[in-house]
A and B are shown apart, each in its own frame.
Chain A
Amino acid sequence: GAVVSQHPSWVICKSGTSVKIECRSLDFQATTMFWYRQFPKQSLMLMATSNEGSKATYEQGVEKDKFLINHASLTLSTLTVTSAHPEDSSFYICSARRGSSNQPQHFGDGTRLSIL
């Protein structure tokens, strides 16, 4: 199996709050983890790629200081949305991959973030 757990699944918080989302690979070691974002009626869009022990690589247009990514171990990556505002409300989903780029990514169930 290749199980990825994402927590929390749903968050509602006030504007200005920072929110941390965890992504864990439960039964395998993930050399690379990815964070995606999905707006309504749109496809998943890659935000950033993180390799264990190194800095994340962000896609164009994604603010590094707004979306802090930490990949401290081979089984855990975290995404922190700092000083969240209503426009940050979205569906965030992580994936994990063992090995190289010709291996599939395995996804968590996502986090629905609502900023009031």
Chain B
Amino acid sequence: DQQVKQNSPSLSVQEGRISILNCDYTNSMFDYFLWYKKYPAEGPTFLISISSIKDKNEDGRFTVFLNKSAKHLSLHIVPSQPGDSAVYFCAASAPNSGGGADGLTFGKGTHLIIQP
């Protein structure tokens, strides 16, 4: 069962407009959420993160919103630029239970296409 879900495999947005990428999770133990951007043949690049004690984090054109009650987070990119075209992954982690394993759980990604 997927604990992190990105239900939109792809999203097309016009240049200059706002891009909104969505992510849902099921594990209530997740307390740290991240967005990564990935170009073909490269590894994911960290974009922005948010701790569960916050509901919003902003960094330049990127803003992440967290709705814990709905177990939903979103990434807003505004204004969208052609270079934003990539696959975006949502990821989450739970507190280290002491077993030494606290890796990330990833969604399947959303392919964002910015149209000129």
Contact = CB atoms under 8 A, between A and B. Distances in A.
A108 B46 contact: no
Given A43-B108, A101-B32, A101-B93, A108 B43 contact: yes
A49 B100 contact: yes
Majority-rule SS of B interface residues:
loop
Interface residues of B, number: 29
A34 interface: yes
Contacts of A109: 41-43
Contact of B46 (A45, A54, A101, A106): A106
Contacts of A34: 103-104
Interface centre among B2, B51, B95, B106 (most CB of A within 10 A): B106
B108 A107 contact: no
9 contacts: A34-B103, A49-B100, A59-B103, A95-B43, A101-B102, A102-B32, A105-B46, A106-B46, A109-B42
Interface of B: 2, 4, 31-32, 34, 36, 41-46, 49, 51, 89, 93, 95-96, 99-109
Interface of A: 2, 4, 6, 32, 34, 36, 41-46, 48-49, 51, 54, 56-59, 93, 95, 101-102, 104-110
